[in-house]
Amino acid sequence: MANISILEPIMLVFLLFLLSYISIANSTPRYTAVDNIPLNCGSVGNLTDGDKRIWIGDMEPSKFAPIEERNQKSVTSEPQSQDSSIEPVPYGTARLSYSQFTYVFPVTSGPKFVRLYFYADSYSGFDESLAFFTVKANNKFTLLRNFSASILANYSGELTRTLSKEFCINVEKDQKLNLTFIPTPSTASSRFFAFVNGIEIVSMPTYLYYSSEENQRRPFDVDQHDQLLIENSTALEMIHRLNMGGSSISPNGDTGMFRAWSQDSPYLLSGGVIPRQPNLELKYTAIPNDTAPDDVYRSAITMGPNITWNLLSNLTWGLPVDPGFNYLVRLHFCEIEPSITMPGQRPFIIYIDNKTAAPMADVIMWSDGRDTPVFQDYVVMIREMRVDQDKSTLFIALHPGKSTNAIYDAILNGAEVFKLSDSNNNLAGPNPSSALLPSPPPAQQPGSTSNSRKTRFIAIGTSVGLFLALLTLLCCVVVWKLRKSKRYGSYYPVSKCWFWSDQNKGKSKRTKASSLPEGLCRQFSLEEIKTATRNFDEELVIGVGGFGKVYRGFVDDGTMLVAIKRLNPESKQGPKEFWKEIEMLSQLRHVHLVSLIGYSNDEREMILVYDYMSNGTLREHLYDTDKDSLPWIQRLEICIGAACGLNYLHTGLKHPIIHRDVKTTNILLDENCVAKVSDFGLSKEGQDDKAVSTMVKGTFGYLDPDYARRRQLTEKSDVYSFGVVLFEVLCARKALNPRLEEEQWNLANWARKCIQNGTMGEIIDLNLLGKLAPNCFKVYVDIAESCVRDQGSQRPTMNDVMDKLSFALQLQKEADVAKEKVNPDGKETYTEVLSFHVSDITETRRCNNIFSGHVSESNSGTWLTSNNTGMTYPSLDSDTVKCEDVFTDTSNVSKA
């Protein structure tokens, strides 16, 4: 009680402070543009628009009067159809010319918004159907080409004939920004002209959309599975800027950059539910507070409470775009539903352009908490499909993800889509040519008011009491955060990994961390790690290697189970490998790779924190174990998963990554027995197709003899090791077992000998006897054998292995179905495989000391359904299993 009475006054002071702070925040925008030039073309002096913003006229003596060709003067005019519903500023007047004219804006260096406003109408002496022109910026970027506002307005389906275009252009030091309007060259029959009603130049923060030194943000390339830079030599065109689930926001409601935000409802293809928290106080601890207006984050679209429905559908938006360009897609998120407080409660998959952009999106994990805005950037190429096609649709789709406490839902608060200039610095697409277009983005008028169509809200309001309670909570959190971690102190944490070096102040290391992608990697304090591992309690050790020990532990107040790898400072894996592993793992996102959650580097410790794989290593399920034997189908699925993961390492990235230590203890199984490849500590990126020559590393029994001889590391070395894994899975035998007769020591060699002698069936796992469909068995043994061939060049690629294993799985499933029909009670087995001689191996097994009571147990069990672990597992029914399929399937797991 005493504590509370002391705390209360402090809280009150804080509350008052915050409240006063909030009212200030509401009245002044978060960002003040250094350059802010709204230019009203065709008028004299200053005019005020509906939002009380002052626009400057471009007619003499204005300092922004355009530069024209000497004998071809432009004229100024008013539109012919005087529509009273049109905002007079900037649409009430225009500048028009049959020859080119240039506006020159003296501005500071850095990125600028350039907005062009057009009213598609005829002006005295100028017929709207003859307005065709090109707009260039700084003689470099083509913003519009042979542009016709009239055609666009005719096809837009909107009643209003006003249009606006927004671009982002970087201005270098000592440069001016100039905009040139060039009429399309006239023909014998027509004389074309150019016109413009309004121009706006507004500065933006350098970190807003471009990647730069101090901004560690790297959009994720959905096609290349890689991190990208948006360099300042790129020009952007805003195509869509949407406030999901909210109303449109006028330029004055923006954070100071006069961006207009529209409603998403015209583009939402599926149903959705709208949570809204209109007064919610947001915590800008993950992104700068001027990224988007608060109202963008205070509303969202979610799927709703019907889990059955959610698992069967996607939350999809279809956004019309020009094909043939790269697009930057920025998705804004903020978890605003009070019941969602922990990572794993609302995980979801993000598809962009029907490709997996994020297999495990989790807003709480990205933002580190509720009410905390965060965004993610993706880049996707929209290809040209047909010659006659001038608009495509970019789909953004969300699908519920899976975790133990998941509510099977997804959320999106806002989205921005930008077209990126191509290699010719062009942003212009063709004029629309058919009436069958999807409706283009609704034109935003500056000065349009925000409250338009407000419908179908399921608003979750907050009463004043709850609001105050939240504020109090916010105070506590703020105080606690400030005290607890210094990493949020100085700079806005665009990237959490950015802050790791604050503790050791190493400058060189800071630059290194700069290559770490945003939001994927979290820093733990040594305290947190010590608490999680009970000060590195030996009882919690789950693995030991040359690098050090791996512990099991809970973080986040016991809510999240993780694997903690503590690197031995004396181990050969030095700081270099440590950073390499962080860098690499945080860039790799794949359902069949173990994900890195974070790291700790306090007091020179090198600690990596991974997802905990509750089902341990693959080896634990094969031999020397008291775990139940894995059914054959499940073994195949695990092998396919691991092959997918390796194939991704080999081919999914710009530089292939060679794992170098593929073995059954580095293939881990999660709670659903989905295989995840782990341990990239020894991995090495392959450079340009050339083989990587280094010291021989790896594990005996799995080591590629070709590599050991020639010291030339290629992806095929991983293929060899994977072949050994395949034999291990089939035979439940160690890769190297010196307790056996010498010729059997090395499993790969022995298996090859057995294959030559036609006795392979004799050394398979006894638990599998009678359960292998003969044709599946044959395909499987073929694959395994081809993987362990002596010469790397004779071995298949991981992609081949993946495909063939999927084929083997299909054969097994077909055979099982056929057998089920004739033999519904499942007693009968595949006799062909049974007919292999078994007598000898039992002997081997005995001296091998591998099996205890398993044989009889599994002999009596019913095959195929003997999945005693009760695990749910993705079904792989499709003909060829590609990694994407596995992605999707994992998400659909546990429909039952």
Under a CB-based contact definition with an 8 Å cutoff, are residues 331 and 396 in contact? yes
- Residue 661 known to be catalytic: yes
Is 190 a binding residue for ligand NAG by CB under 6 A? The answer is no
Quote the least distance from Cβ 2 to ligand NAG, whole Å: 34
Using CB under 6 A, which of the segments 78-86, 311-319, 526-534, 796-804 binds ligand NAG?
311-319
Residues 96 and 726: their CA atoms lie apart, in Å, by 73
Residue with tokens 């190493």: 506
Near ligand NAG by CB under 6 A: residue from 33, 163, 274, 397: 397
212: closest CA among 531, 577, 494, 629?
494
Near ligand NAG by CB under 6 A: residue from 45, 271, 569, 738: 45
Closest CB to ligand NAG among residues 164, 184: 184
Closest CB to ligand NAG among residues 146, 625: 146
Near ligand NAG by CB under 6 A: residue from 44, 75, 104, 755: 104
* Interacting positions 830-859 with ligand NAG (CB under 6 A): none
Near ligand NAG by CB under 6 A: residue from 77, 316, 712, 829: 316
Using CB under 6 A, which of the segments 78-86, 142-150, 575-583, 799-807 binds ligand NAG?
142-150
**Helices (DSSP H) in 157-306: which residue ranges?**
294-297
Is 309 a binding residue for ligand NAG by CB under 6 A? The answer is yes
Is 110 a binding residue for ligand NAG by CB under 6 A? The answer is yes
Under a CB-based contact definition with an 8 Å cutoff, are residues 441 and 417 in contact? no
Cα R_g (the chain), whole angstroms? 32
Under a CB-based contact definition with an 8 Å cutoff, are residues 450 and 249 in contact? yes
Quote the least distance from Cβ 153 to ligand NAG, whole Å: 7
Quote the least distance from Cβ 28 to ligand NAG, whole Å: 7
Closest CB to ligand NAG among residues 306, 625: 306
Using CB under 6 A, which of the segments 301-309, 500-508, 733-741, 822-830 binds ligand NAG?
301-309
Per the residue annotation, which of 58, 290, 294, 661 is the catalytic one?
A: 661
Residues 630 and 866: their CA atoms lie apart, in Å, by 8
Closest CB to ligand NAG among residues 395, 457: 395
Is 62 a binding residue for ligand NAG by CB under 6 A? The answer is no
Residue with tokens 């690197």: 567
Q: Are β-strands 606-611 and 101-105 bridged in parallel, bridged antiparallel, or unpaired?
A: unpaired
Is 5 a binding residue for ligand NAG by CB under 6 A? The answer is no
Is 139 a binding residue for ligand NAG by CB under 6 A? The answer is yes
Quote the least distance from Cβ 798 to ligand NAG, whole Å: 23
H/E element, 3: helix 2-27
What token pair was written down for 35? 């350059």
Quote the least distance from Cβ 299 to ligand NAG, whole Å: 20
386: amino acid identity, one letter = R
Question: What is the x/- site pattern for ligand NAG, positions 223-242, by CB under 6 A?
Answer: ---------x----------
503: closest CA among 367, 581, 605?
605
Near ligand NAG by CB under 6 A: residue from 18, 56, 460, 541: 56
Quote the least distance from Cβ 90 to ligand NAG, whole Å: 14
Near ligand NAG by CB under 6 A: residue from 148, 372, 495, 767: 148
What token pair was written down for 227? 């991190």
Near ligand NAG by CB under 6 A: residue from 43, 100, 170, 247: 170
Near ligand NAG by CB under 6 A: residue from 109, 425, 531, 894: 109
Closest CB to ligand NAG among residues 140, 454: 140
Q: Residue 397 pairs with which residues in a beta bridge?
A: 316, 351
Is 888 a binding residue for ligand NAG by CB under 6 A? The answer is yes
* Interacting positions 67-86 with ligand NAG (CB under 6 A): 67
Using CB under 6 A, which of the segments 126-134, 541-549, 668-676, 825-833 binds ligand NAG?
126-134
Instruction: Please give, one letter per residue, the 3-state secondary structure of 70-82.
Output: CCCCCEEECECCC
Near ligand NAG by CB under 6 A: residue from 62, 77, 99, 178: 178
Is 54 a binding residue for ligand NAG by CB under 6 A? The answer is yes
206: amino acid identity, one letter = T
Quote the least distance from Cβ 232 to ligand NAG, whole Å: 4
Give the total residue count for the chain.
896
C-beta atoms surrounding 185 within 10 Å: 10
Quote the least distance from Cβ 888 to ligand NAG, whole Å: 6
Q: Give backbone dihedrals phi and psi of 543, rounded to 5 degrees, phi first.
A: -170, 150
Using CB under 6 A, which of the segments 169-177, 236-244, 256-264, 640-648 binds ligand NAG?
169-177
Is 132 a binding residue for ligand NAG by CB under 6 A? The answer is yes
The contacts of residue 860 (CB under 8 Å, 6+ apart) are none
Closest CB to ligand NAG among residues 349, 732: 349
Q: What angle do CA 883, 887, 892 make, to 5 degrees?
A: 140
What token pair was written down for 614? 């509750």
Is 503 a binding residue for ligand NAG by CB under 6 A? The answer is no
Is 893 a binding residue for ligand NAG by CB under 6 A? The answer is no
Quote the least distance from Cβ 210 to ligand NAG, whole Å: 8
Under a CB-based contact definition with an 8 Å cutoff, are residues 555 and 599 in contact? no
Quote the least distance from Cβ 809 to ligand NAG, whole Å: 21
Following DSSP, what letter does each residue of 398-449 receive, concatenated?
EEE---TT--S--EE-EEEEEEEP-TTSB---PPP--TTPPPPPPPPPTT--
* Interacting positions 257-296 with ligand NAG (CB under 6 A): 289
Is 541 a binding residue for ligand NAG by CB under 6 A? The answer is no
Near ligand NAG by CB under 6 A: residue from 314, 326, 495, 523: 314
Near ligand NAG by CB under 6 A: residue from 77, 146, 665, 844: 146
149: closest CA among 187, 186, 198?
198
Residues 747 and 619: their CA atoms lie apart, in Å, by 14
How far is Cα of residue 119 from the mean position of the Cα atoms in its chain? 39
Residues 261 and 268: their CA atoms lie apart, in Å, by 15
Residues 668 and 593: their CA atoms lie apart, in Å, by 9
Under a CB-based contact definition with an 8 Å cutoff, are residues 614 and 670 in contact? yes
Quote the least distance from Cβ 130 to ligand NAG, whole Å: 8
What token pair was written down for 455? 């419908």
What token pair was written down for 668? 């881990």
First-last CA distance in the chain: 50
Quote the least distance from Cβ 457 to ligand NAG, whole Å: 19
Tell me whether residue 778 is annotated as binding: no
Near ligand NAG by CB under 6 A: residue from 154, 515, 531, 844: 154
Which residue pairs, CB below 8 angstroms and at least 24 apart, start in 831-837? 831/770, 832/774, 833/761, 833/764, 833/769, 833/770, 833/771, 833/772, 833/774, 833/777, 834/769, 834/770, 835/761, 836/759, 836/761, 836/762, 836/764, 837/759, 837/761, 837/762
Q: What is the largest CA-CA distance in the chain?
A: 104
Q: What's the DSSP call for residue 629?
A: P
Residue with tokens 């409660």: 345
Near ligand NAG by CB under 6 A: residue from 65, 151, 540, 692: 151
Using CB under 6 A, which of the segments 146-154, 557-565, 631-639, 685-693 binds ligand NAG?
146-154
Angle, helices 715-731/632-651, rounded to nearest 10 degrees: 170
Near ligand NAG by CB under 6 A: residue from 62, 138, 265, 426: 138
Footprint of ligand NAG (CB under 6 A): 25, 30, 45-46, 54, 56, 67, 102, 104, 109-110, 128-129, 132, 138-139, 146, 148, 150-151, 154, 170, 172, 175, 178, 184, 206, 232, 289, 306, 308-309, 312-314, 316, 351, 354, 395, 397, 399, 431, 492, 888
Q: Which residues participate in catalysis according to the annotation?
A: 661
Write out the binding residues for ATP.
565
Write out the binding residues.
565
